[in-house]
Amino acid sequence: MKEQKHETLDKLSLIDNFLMNELVGSDEYGATFIEYFLQVVLGHSIEVKDVSVQRVATAGDPNIRSIRMDIRTKISLDRVLLLADMADSPGILPKSNRAMSNIEMQAKKGESGPGQRYDIRRRMRLHQALIDANMMKPQSKFGELDDVLIITCASFDVFGLGRARYTFTNMCLEESGLVLADGAYRIYLNTSGKSGGSEELMALLKYTENSIDANVTNEKLKEIHTMVMEVKQSKEVREKYMFEWEKIERAKDEVREELQEEMREIIADKNAALADRDAALADKDAAFAVKDTALAERDAALADRDAAFTIIKELQEKLAKTEQLS
């Protein structure tokens, strides 16, 4: 059997879900890291109230798709989320300083484009809907619904414009500057972005994509890098990584076996169909052979008849001559 190859834990970066989950899920480092991450992304101070990783949110119905959030945080802000510089815009009312944040890491592009299987934009729309639904308790007032912030950190540019950060909120198409102000925001981060973000954000994103010494370019990243290295050196984390990798490889092997079995069944069915076809063709050929034999016999009978007619004609001619002589 060919030896399986996999990325070692030492080579993983924060863009990889496993390492990010272990860092954020760490009691010692999780809140500190995610608070810094969000402060740099949002551009102002926040306070992290709660952090959880791989949290599942459902609609309460097994027939409706659920989601698994890479990182879920409850945060408290010192000002209205993202709208502080738009305070004079029409439609903006006093807001809560609470928000629910969902951070998703996307290391590979895969089928994440518009209309594809894992359409990243529509997937985040589902995340927002289920997060909102799970925040509302029976009889809750809608005005008490916290803001929701969906952050997607991708190793590729979702929109292809070279920006490090793209921020979205609902706006009126007919009235320029009119913000819906429903408390829903989405941010897409591009780890390879060249513009559209602070120097600190660019450095953080670059380190997130490739968490190596060479990308530690400020004191805060030096602290983060120390955290990352300690997490990587943890015996518990290393054992967990090997277990997770082995579990993934077992799942791959099971899928391969299932595919091979399906392929064998497909080939067997195809061979059976071909055998049936060959048998039908053989029957058809046999029928043609019988037909050809019958036609040959008919032709022979016709030839015999024609020969008989010829003999009779000759006899009749001889008879006629004999009568003339008489």
Give me 12's structure tokens.
């993983």
Neighbouring-strand partners of residue 75? 48, 99
Q: How far is CA 269 from the centre of its chain?
A: 31
Q: Does the pTM exceed 0.75?
A: no
pLDDT (tens digit per residue) in 8-60: 888 999 999 899 999 999 989 999 999 999 999 988 888 888 888 887 888 77
Kind and range of the H or E run holding 264: helix 235-325
- Other beta carbons within 10 Å of 117: 9
Q: Which residue is listed with tokens 């990798």? A: 245
pLDDT (tens digit per residue) in 114-138: 777 778 889 898 888 888 888 888 8
User: Rounded CA gap, 57 and 268, in Å?
Assistant: 43
Cβ(191)–Cβ(153) below 8 Å: yes
User: Rounded CA gap, 105 and 304, in Å?
Assistant: 92
